Amino acid sequence: MTNADLTRLSAAQLADRLAAGDVSSVDATQAHLDRIAAVDDAVHAFLHVSAEEALATAREVDDRRARGEEVHALAGVPIAVKDVVVTKGLPTTAGSRILEGWVPPYDATLVERIKAAGLPILGKTNMDEFAMGSSTEHSAYGDTHNPWDLDRIPGGSGGGSAAAVAAYEAPLAIGTDTGGSIRQPAAVTGTVGVKPTYGSVSRYGLIALASSLDQAGPVTRTVLDSALLHELIGGHDPRDSTSIPEPLPSLVEAARAGASGDLTGLRVGIVTELQGEGYQAGVLARFHESLELLQQAGATLVEVSCPHFTYALAAYYLILPAEASSNLAKFDGMRFGLRVEPAQGPATAERVMAATRGQGFGDEVKRRIILGTYALSAGYYDAYYGSAQKVRTLIQRDFAAAFAQADVLVSPTAPTTAFKLGEKLDDPLAMYLNDVATIPANLAGVPGLSLPSGLSDDGLPAGFQILAPAKADDRLYRVGAALEALLEQSWEGPLLAKAPELEVAR
Amino acid sequence: MSSLSRDEVARVAGLARIDLTPDEIDRLAGELDVIVEAVARVSEIATPDVPATSHPLPMTNVFRADEPVAPLDRDAVLAAAPAARDGKFLVPQILGEDA
């Protein structure tokens, strides 16, 4: 097998070859580093590539296997990590100038688990600054380009992780999803992404955006790979007080069972409010074809109404900025990151903080911090933040009522396919609408998965979203794997096989 | 709902400790006004009988075992600071002259 072929394997396939001794982790890791060298000038998925560290991990795993030691099933399979996750010894910027050059002195819990299992970390992936955005254009370090069309956005905030996986630069990546930052990039890049139940994966060591919404999860090319990665990074962590103190459901087992394509007895709820106006015709057409496949697999379709979802975007853009304005107060120029002295006048701590943040934060971060500070300020708190928290209750009630009628809920993941870079940059509200279908899950804490549903009329990938009740993440994998198998039968292969080959730099 | 004036943006930016240029204030006032108008819809359905939710999965009294663990290495932490001296963060004066 050539090195190029190694980058085309799914993580599960690569893991099998590593276990069988057909290939070494050093070869597999080098193959991905070569691929990054060949295509990342064009894609710009990575902010930092940690070749030496990755190869050192790979060698160690190969040695352990050679000695006959028991290793994790994913040992030796390389992975990319979104730059909002702290990694000891590797620069971590969260896409912001304010953290340029910062090297964290500790690992996030999920990174500890990745390292303990022996997955070589290829590097850190690009993202909208502090995960604020839906296109990765708000990164302080330049745009990431969609591998399907380099003039288009890869989604956001986790556009780097999704593009890395779509461009075969990594078989696995870590994302974080506060309002859709795993699922929407998956949809527009033809890949798979999962936002686990809130509390399923530890938030310790994520640079917090909105603490009551943030959740880390897998970014992959197949549903089974997401299940494998979710099982590795998930589970209780005493260092995160919102971590669920229970074992995860059997996710890999659910994905393997689902791949048989039999969904007899499953009730699928189609959310009325998450389709129709604002959704591209081709996106809806692929969505309805997927529904037919689910029905052919034995599922029953029911239409469910979640009337308060139409208020979810408004509530989200109050709750998120409010929490972000508080979380980002730690970037004060005192203990880490950038420090800027004011141009004139005394350099007091307060003035240094204002000068540092004025220079270190980008436009979208300033916009949201000021919006959040406003929503929390005296005289406005009840009308804005207080009301948004009540909407959150109403959305949770909508979910409870819907899940009484259906085992899973479904919708298109994003209303449109990937738009052109720059197209929505000057219109914040239009940008926010990309997440209209993904935000309700974050507000309620329920898990969601996006998988490719096909190509829209413009030849670009569309996404199919599956939502399950809290702690029932296994349902996502069962239904997702079933639909994936049926769709790939109809396409005679994975959707990504239809993506144009990237020009390879030599 | 009130709209977000230029003065209001400048005042809130002060509360948030972010220095803005006059251009930035102009642009943000226009953008935030549109956004605030859009998000103000939440009050339409937030009636007094609806309780507020602050957290998706409520948990109370979450404790861990009270066992001492090693803190982060001091030198590693200070190495990432903008300025340090004598094993401590070196910061600007905390209080202004008139404080």
The nearest CA of chain B is from the CA of A433 a distance in Å of 12
Determine which one of A82, A124, A195, A471 is catalytic: A82
Which of B33, B42, B50 has the most A C-beta neighbours within 10 Å, making it the best mutation to test the interface with A?
A: B42
Task: Select the residue of B2, B17, B79 nearest A350 (Cβ to Cβ).
Answer: B17
Give pLDDT, residue A289. Answer: 98
Q: Rounded to 10 degrees, what is the CA torsion of A330, A336, A340, A341? A: 90
Between these two residues, A58 and B98, which has the higher pLDDT value? A58
Considering Cα of A417, then A421, then A422, then A426, what sign does the dihedral take?
positive
Which of B7, B57, B62 has the most A C-beta neighbours within 10 Å, making it the best mutation to test the interface with A?
A: B57
Query: What is the chain B residue with the closest CA to A319?
Result: B54
Query: Is there a catalytic annotation at residue A88?
Result: no
pLDDT tens profile A53-68? 999 999 999 999 999 9
**Are the Cβ atoms of B54 and A212 closer than 8 angstroms?**
yes
The answer on pLDDT for B2 being more than 60 is no
Query: What is the chain A residue with the closest CA to B14?
Result: A354
How far apart (Å, rounded) are the C-alpha atoms in residues A271 and A275?
7
Task: Select the residue of B13, B52, B93 nearest A348 (Cβ to Cβ).
Answer: B93
The answer on pLDDT for B75 being more than 50 is yes
How far apart (Å, rounded) are the C-alpha atoms in residues A395 and A440?
7
3-class state of residue A344 by DSSP: coil
Query: What is the chain A residue with the closest CA to B65?
Result: A238
Walk along chain A (506 residues) in steps of 10 and give the mean pLDDT of each run.
Answer: 86 98 97 98 98 98 97 98 98 98 96 98 98 97 98 98 98 98 98 98 98 98 98 97 96 97 97 93 98 98 97 96 97 96 91 97 97 92 94 98 98 97 92 94 98 98 98 98 98 97 84
Paired sense of beta strands A79-82 and A121-125, if any? parallel
Paired strand residues for A349:
none
Paired sense of beta strands A216-220 and A192-195, if any? antiparallel
- The full set of domains in chain B, from first to last, is 6-45 (1.10.20)
Closest CA to A183 of A436, A407, A398, A486: A436
The nearest CA of chain A is from the CA of B71 a distance in Å of 10
The nearest CA of chain B is from the CA of A128 a distance in Å of 19
Contacting residues of B for A369, CB less than 8 Å apart:
16, 18
Q: What is the ipTM of this complex?
A: 0.94
Give pLDDT, residue B98. Answer: 59
Give pLDDT, residue B97. Answer: 65
Closest CA to A415 of A373, A465, A487: A465
Closest CA to A210 of A253, A235, A179: A179
Q: Confirm if A414 and A188 have CB atoms less than 8 A apart.
A: yes
Determine which one of A181, A243, A290, A325 is catalytic: A181
Quick one: what percent of chain B has pLDDT higher than 70? 93
Closest CA to A285 of A410, A462, A452: A462
How far apart (Å, rounded) are the C-alpha atoms in residues A361 and A347?
19
Contacting residues of A for B40, CB less than 8 Å apart:
314, 383-384
Give pLDDT, residue A345. Answer: 86
Show the CA angle centred on residue A99, arms to residues A98 and A105, nearest 5°: 150
Query: What is the chain B residue with the closest CA to A369?
Result: B16
**Cis peptide leading into A157, omega within 30 of 0?**
yes
pTM, full prediction? 0.97
Query: What is the chain B residue with the closest CA to A237?
Result: B64
pLDDT class of B10 with cuts at 50, 70, 90:
very high
Task: Select the residue of A106, A314, A369 nearest B16 (Cβ to Cβ).
Answer: A369
CATH number of A3-308+393-498: 3.90.1300.10
pLDDT class of B1 with cuts at 50, 70, 90:
very low
Closest CA to A160 of A194, A179, A192, A137: A137
Q: Confirm if A34 and A3 have CB atoms less than 8 A apart.
A: yes
How far apart (Å, rounded) are the C-alpha atoms in residues A405 and A433?
28
3-class state of residue A82 by DSSP: strand
Query: Is there a catalytic annotation at residue A157?
Result: yes
- Number of Cα atoms under 13 Å in the Cβ half of residue A409: 30
Task: Select the residue of A242, A311, A445 nearest B41 (Cβ to Cβ).
Answer: A311
Show the CA angle centred on residue A248, arms to residues A324 and A450, nearest 5°: 60
Closest CA to A158 of A129, A200, A201: A129
Question: How crowded is residue B10: how many other Cβ atoms within 10 Å of its Cβ?
Answer: 16
Task: Select the residue of A366, A383, A429 nearest B28 (Cβ to Cβ).
Answer: A366
- Number of Cα atoms under 13 Å in the Cβ half of residue A498: 17
pLDDT tens profile A134-153? 999 999 999 999 999 999 99
Give pLDDT, residue A506. Answer: 64
Contacting residues of B for A353, CB less than 8 Å apart:
17
Q: What is the DSSP string of A131-173?
A: G--SSSTT-TT----BTTBTTB---SSSHHHHHHHHTTS-SEE
Give pLDDT, residue B3. Answer: 67
**Are the Cβ atoms of A358 and B20 closer than 8 angstroms?**
yes
Query: Is there a catalytic annotation at residue A181?
Result: yes
The answer on pLDDT for B20 being more than 90 is yes
The nearest CA of chain A is from the CA of B6 a distance in Å of 12
DSSP classification of residue A343: S
Rounded to the nearest 10 degrees, the angle between the axes of helix A473-491 and helix A251-258 is: 30
3-class state of residue A374 by DSSP: helix
How far apart (Å, rounded) are the C-alpha atoms in residues A331 and A319?
20
Give pLDDT, residue A276. Answer: 84
